[in-house]
Structure 1
């Protein structure tokens, strides 16, 4: 009798798995069943990831075993074409300490073949030997060859001379995420997204920018990143006046900077140019 019950249970489980797999496939959600290379870190207390921000969602973490797995089921990244930098994917990575020789990188298995070895799947952010801050930012474009559906992304921070997606390190931490690649948006949708974040004048000749908001907003944080994706300034606890807020970068050199505007309502990103 027990054998019959076990057999019936096994059949039901198998049917449920088949139904889920078929449903995922019909919705463009491929099951990420590939076995990826191990990325181990013996002592994450020495250096570890404290926050990963991805397309407007932030995941604050602590270290455990040196490896963690998370699912960003509600995070979509869109295939191109892109008409504006704000449409591209955005990732921020924050580590515990801005030590020299800290290396930070991320990898995305765009073609879902179980590795991070293909073209455009690797991005190393920390090529600066002596970072002054402990946070990095990077834009990325989903390649045309990317498959739709659930996709593995790996983020790693190590205190070492080199960094790779696989292998063992002493000081460091690895976090794997599941993100969802979706089909390109219509031209109208892309045009609407371009107008979400407004700063003027842009370019600016004196480094002063005014941001427009669609309603009164409090407790705003500006994070400014240089062209290497390294956080170089944070401006905290700002409030709008007449739905406007000024950001003063007059002491910055000419160049292109990326600014995150963080509030309780949204996290938006703008590229600013100082002439």
Structure 2
């Protein structure tokens, strides 16, 4: 009976949502904001021209080196609210960071929907995002600051970015991505500042109801893609139609298209004589609904990565300590994890979890069970299988399972690869999922979280309706040290070229016996790439797909890691 009533309620809610969605189209005011900035600051045009010259040089030179294979950007979220709904929760903020990490690392599940004509162009940009853990003055932070305001809405004049005009000031924009969340007026979903603008206003602004994928986020902009789109602008991407009829977005592998696309078009949609494949309307830089955009192109990826190469406009982020907790070194403190709990277990609950020496059968546990006294040990780089099942009071309903491991021990589950299993099932039978522990996972005890909910949008930090969360301990061995680990190059190995096309040269220090050296390659998910071969100095990477990989070099004395890009 519960599900029948629940389904009817959703049907009525869905009807209302679909009716209101018909009148909604994506509105981004980035180009309007740019025009206003250029008018107010004539020198900005020269700065942007210099950035374009550096970008062109990087894109045109396939051997151009970026300082780091994977860029991690500390994010500070400034929340300005007039109502409770506008005061987005920590869970909603975490969900948005998770979306950015998925979309910029080609880990979003819906990338599989990319038409075959464009699938080979879908890019792993290799940029990660983490909520700041340290303020510009070195104090500890959650990366979130909030301010209640009597102002009911904000325009696109950057007033929300200054305390003097009722908002919140930007943190050092050379070291942080500033992200303001507020109630924007005029139907605007968001806007961003291109590289080259004033430091005091640098960042991204998002409508509170278009932010993240839970809480106050409202369809059809409830999957976090507004931030993906706007951060794309912040990383120097233009709208895919070039903001002109059959315009130029400055990217070579995106088809010319007549104008923006809204809603969810059918493939192919041919404009500007771009047949047979037509518009790349599923690109994050178009105007389609959140559920219908799911890729950046390789050309867009190169354009964004140019910002972090030598002389790049956002290269300062590579040396930011904003994503590292203050102090560093010493004995790591125990992280505090967000709450996750089902509010109703009358109909379904987690009744079995098994991983290694963890094996627990149970009844309902009031929506949450703290099983951190139970644990198991796994080895970095190893393949693991976790088993789990649902208990039902009567009917077996569809449940959505998400299983997380905090591999880097930073107190959250939003980093790339930390969602180790995600599936749905309407069965009481035992389910299994297999995952590979990343070679870069930190040694020591960390958290395993199992979430079972009847809502697909439930993430690692939710209070949700029907279902249950269970937490366990898991100890990593054979991975990286808890303190920062030196790169392979910093301890004497020389690795070049990076990016690599066919062969990666690995020069072994004279003090190390070549015969003792073993090299293993892992992708961003932590899966071992067994098709590569190492002959003592040369690593054959020609069989790898384009993307970002991690080298694990063991020589009998130490284990070191180095990331590289396969082009």
Higher percent of residues as strand: 1
Higher percent of residues as helix: 2
Taking structure 2 as the reference length, what is the TM-score of the superposition?
0.25
Structure showing greater relative contact order (alpha-carbon pairs closer than 8 Å, 6 or more residues apart): 1
Taking structure 1 as the reference length, what is the TM-score of the superposition?
0.49
Rg comparison, structure with higher value? 2
